[in-house]
Amino acid sequence: MSTSSIALFFMAVLLAAVLVEPLARRLKMPFSAALVAGGFAASQAIIDMGLDTGLRWYHFHDLVFFVFLPALIFHSAFNMDARQLFRNILPIFLLALPILLLSTLLTATLLYFGIGHPQGFPWISALVCGALLSATDPVAVSEIAKRSPVPRRLLTLMEGESLFNDATTVVLFMLLLSVVTTPGAEITLAGAGLDFLRLAVGGTGVGLVLGLAAGLLMRWFERPIIVSLLAAYASYLIAETQLGVSGVMAVLACGLVSGHLHRQQKPEQYPNTDNWWAQLGWLANSSLFLLAGVTITLPMFQERWLAMLLGIGAALLTRALGVWMVGALTAIVPGQTPVSTAYRLLMVAGGLRGAVTLALALSLPVELEGWWTVQSIAYGVVLFSLVFQAPTIEPLLDKLQKSRRL
């Protein structure tokens, strides 16, 4: 695919997103769902006209990991209130690491035995699917918070969990894919655990250094937006391509540190920088949902509907189990504010699967046995989240507020 074709494609994606947004608002449907529907309609029209966009799976991989993910992660981290985050670090940590690993394993087990096809859907495929389904997206709750009061702690819990959860998911996802791309390599649980720690801790270290440097540069120079852009993508590229550690963890740490320093040092400039990153995050998020729509095919629903239903059931079950376990743990740990039943209900309802799940599904290599099944399950779960799960959050929030349980 030529550079000019890529540029034209992105212009078309941007135009489509701009056109779809007011239409979705008028039809009172979730913007993300409208993007998927628009992408699907456009792809069907292109197929009917006998055209070829030139897009292949390896283009999606590079777009996802070198363009979209750094923007999504950095925007979320840059906007995060570090003080609120660390006040709730225990439940966020539990959800983003041990509970995520447990959810991945449980989801993989349910899918492996539910599908029951070890040759077409082996354990490694089930684990990859379990990993990408573990990434949560609090966008629905964040949108509701713009028009009605949502407890600050609840928002912090969900946004903080999503931020760390997404980064951890990507590290785990890449680690599992390395098993696929290096057949015959001897993999042990201890070795995999050490690799995970090396990737995560190494990436975090790179991000902390570059985040501190970016925070200082934003203090000294008058172009904080340019400095933050350079910091976001430099932290990813240096960690991922030069040092062999997690680029996503580096972007997360860089965004947290640079955002906190910029907010403290130049509060009058922070809104402009944050608004710019909000626009870039909107573009990355919209592009992912449109691309997902473009790659959806009717045979996915005709041939993989049962696998989709299994994925939806596994995602809902593991989410509820994980949130209740964390709630129970915070209730018995001294010095911790317990996660109330009302918060747990909203965290389960608001634990949607969204942009990061789609990003990872789009980047699946064809070498993965059953990759199309994994992608179909991911799309099915995300569509269920958008169409059926997201609309339940606001009525549940209203009911809990009226009953004074929040």
Residues 6+ apart with CB under 8 A from 104: 127, 130, 131, 133, 134, 172
- DSSP reduced 3-state for 137: strand
pLDDT at 30: 80
pLDDT: which is higher, 178 or 56: 178
pLDDT at 297: 85
> What average pLDDT does this structure show over 110-135?
95
pLDDT at 133: 96
pLDDT at 52: 61
Asked whether residue 123 carries a pLDDT value surpassing 90, the answer given is: yes
Angle between helix 31-48 and 3-27 (nearest 10): 130
pLDDT in tens, 312-348: 999 999 999 999 999 999 989 888 889 999 999 999 9
Distance CA 277, CA 76 (A): 9
pLDDT in tens, 216-267: 999 888 889 999 999 999 999 999 999 999 999 999 999 999 999 999 988 8
pLDDT at 191: 81
Asked whether residue 138 carries a pLDDT value surpassing 90, the answer given is: no
Asked whether residue 187 carries a pLDDT value surpassing 60, the answer given is: yes
At 12, the pLDDT band (50, 70, 90 cuts) reads confident
pLDDT in tens, 61-115: 788 889 899 999 999 999 998 889 999 999 999 999 999 999 999 999 999 999 9
Residues 6+ apart with CB under 8 A from 167: 73, 96, 200, 246, 248, 249, 251, 252
For the chain, domains (ranges, CATH) are: 57-402 (1.20.1530.20)
Answer for the pair 169, 134: CB distance below 8 angstroms, yes or no: yes
Residues 6+ apart with CB under 8 A from 287: 10, 13, 14, 17, 63, 68
Distance CA 41, CA 174 (A): 31
Residues 6+ apart with CB under 8 A from 366: 57
pLDDT at 211: 97
Distance CA 252, CA 211 (A): 9
pLDDT, averaged across the chain: 89
pLDDT: which is higher, 139 or 208: 208
Provide φ and ψ at 352, rounded to 5°: -75, 160
